[in-house]
Structure 1
Amino acid sequence: MTAHGLAGVADAGAFLARLTRLDPAAPVRLKASGGRTALWARLPWEALVTREVASLGEGPGDATVSAAELLSVLAKGGDSLPALRDEQWRWPLPPASAVTIESISGAELARLAAAAAGTLREVAAGALGDRAIGQRAVRDALLDHVALTVTPSAGDPVEVSQRLVQAVSRMGFLGPAGVDTPETRVRTAGRWVGLSAPYGVAWLQKVGKLTVVPIGIHPIG
């Protein structure tokens, strides 16, 4: 029986609890290296999210399992890895090397996330309240909206969409409200844009270069 090797159980549990509330059927990919394990998942609105936690040894190395099943194991104090579901992981990962463009306060990102959520609630309670298709269209438009644009010292401006802002907010990566935490960094890696927050990172690949990975094969990364 393979062990999950997670020593940072509390941190991993917080990640998995948030993830399964957003998507109960979500797979989670574990990549262990050098005493740390990176947990990766894809949110329903296409952003990839990751958090590193402490690990014992190499654990499973690189494996995909059910997030809900792993959360259940951790909640019971178990150390076994749930059944492998590697075929469910179909997405590439961003390159390991990334460049920091600018830093944004957690309070500003929380404000942007709350404003978008408030707009969606108003739509749901208004004229489109009984029209699911209309609500989905508004939701997608809000997620695609460019929440902020940062300009590097050299190169083109970098657009950060609400998909990323909602990802770091809904996954709890910004930390508790009202608590002084480090700023979130806007990062780029190839065609990826990321928000590196105090408790995790969200990534989104720019439209036009999406990669389809054959089922059953993990992408290199």
Structure 2
Amino acid sequence: MSAPVISTARFVLADPREAADLGAFLARLLRFDRAAAVRLQATPDETGAGAGTGTGEGSGAGVLAVYGRLPLGSAGVLALRTARLVRSADPSADPFVGPAVDLTVSAGQLLDGVDEEHGALAVPPPVTGPAWAGLLPPRGGWRPLGAVGADQVLPQLLAAVGEFKERTAQVPEHHRTRAVLDGIADEIWARPLTALPALPLRAAHAAYRIGFLHPGAPLTAHRAGGWLRLTAPHGTVALRAAAAPGAGLGLTPLA
């Protein structure tokens, strides 16, 4: 049983169902890394447009953005899940009430603070953030690259997963090193996504692995500077436009 979390803030979600969605997102991150951290950014939603890269309509009160990293290769891919906020439950006792909240916390402790019954989120004390948390995609300046349905993406994605499994199974055991398997993964996932050629296939792979890519879902692609993003109704993945050599999407095929 985990130790009690001493909360520094508590947020109430505009849609109580989003508490379960956030919990599922955190649980998936923890399957990749049991010590995962996430960066939280809570900002007023003056435009009603949400966080700009996430899901749902803005409520006018605020938007919470939760960033996590999928450790899929040396570069990794960032995943973003947003939720609309109503208010802070106890403003008089909340040291983070103000124009914005920006801190890095333990994903496991944050998951412990998800209150599905009341649609709320208790935020644990901040931790020293990993390097990736200091370099997030920009909030604005995104240029659209195209829009498709998930059904136009899934066939290529699943075929690539099958290829990855087949090719890695053919590697002799004594040559089955992480470097060799990552090299195969990088070759496959760096290919352009046929339905959205501006994006690499690794963007769709990451979106599927984190639970954002569902049959029939609308998908949009954007670029801002050196960043690319793929957005679905349940969340967004973002990655650098030019991946470093060897930065494959890792060794674990889709379930």
**Interval of TM-score (by shorter of Structure 1 and Structure 2):** 0.7 to 0.9
Q: Determine the C-alpha separation between the residues in 1 that align with 2:81 and 2:121.
A: 19
**Quick one: which of 139, 143, 147 aligns to 1:103?**
147
User: What is residue 222 of structure 2 aligned with on the other side?
Assistant: 187
Q: Determine the C-alpha separation between the residues in 2 that align with 1:173 and 1:79.
A: 21
Q: Determine the C-alpha separation between the residues in 2 that align with 1:200 and 1:25.
A: 22
Alpha carbon RMSD of aligned pairs, Å?
2.6
Give the letter for the 1:87 counterpart.
G
Give the letter for the 2:84 counterpart.
A
Q: Give runs of aligned pairs for residues 17-166 of structure 1, distance below 5 A.
A: 17-34=27-44, 35-45=62-72, 46-57=76-87, 60=96, 61-74=101-114, 79-88=121-130, 89-130=133-174, 131-132=176-177, 133-148=179-194, 150=196, 159-166=198-205
- Paired residues of 2:137 and 2:227 also in contact (CA < 8 A): no
User: What is residue 16 of structure 1 aligned with on the other side?
Assistant: 26
TM-score, normalised by the number of residues in structure 1: 0.77
Q: CA deviation at 1:90?
A: 3.2
User: What is residue 170 of structure 1 aligned with on the other side?
Assistant: 209
Give the letter for the 1:36 counterpart.
V
Q: CA deviation at 1:205?
A: 1.7
Q: Determine the C-alpha separation between the residues in 2 that align with 1:195 and 1:91.
A: 18
TM-score, normalised by the number of residues in structure 2: 0.68
Give the letter for the 2:114 counterpart.
L
Q: CA deviation at 1:173?
A: 1.0
User: What is residue 219 of structure 1 aligned with on the other side?
Assistant: none
1:42 aligned counterpart, secondary structure: strand
Unaligned runs of at least 5 residues, structure 1: 151-157, 210-221
Unaligned runs of at least 5 residues, structure 2: 1-6, 45-61, 89-93, 245-255
Q: Residue by residue, what CA displacement relative to the aligned partner does 1:117-170 show, whole Å, maximum 9, x if unpaired?
A: 2112112322345512322221222222222375xxxxxxx6211221111111
Mean Cα displacement is larger for which, 52-61 or 199-208? 52-61
- Paired residues of 2:37 and 2:129 also in contact (CA < 8 A): no
Task: Give the length in aligned residue pairs.
Answer: 198
Q: Residue by residue, what CA displacement relative to the aligned partner does 1:2-38 show, whole Å, maximum 9, x if unpaired?
A: 1241523112112112221223222111111222101
Q: CA deviation at 1:99?
A: 1.9
1:92 aligned counterpart, secondary structure: coil
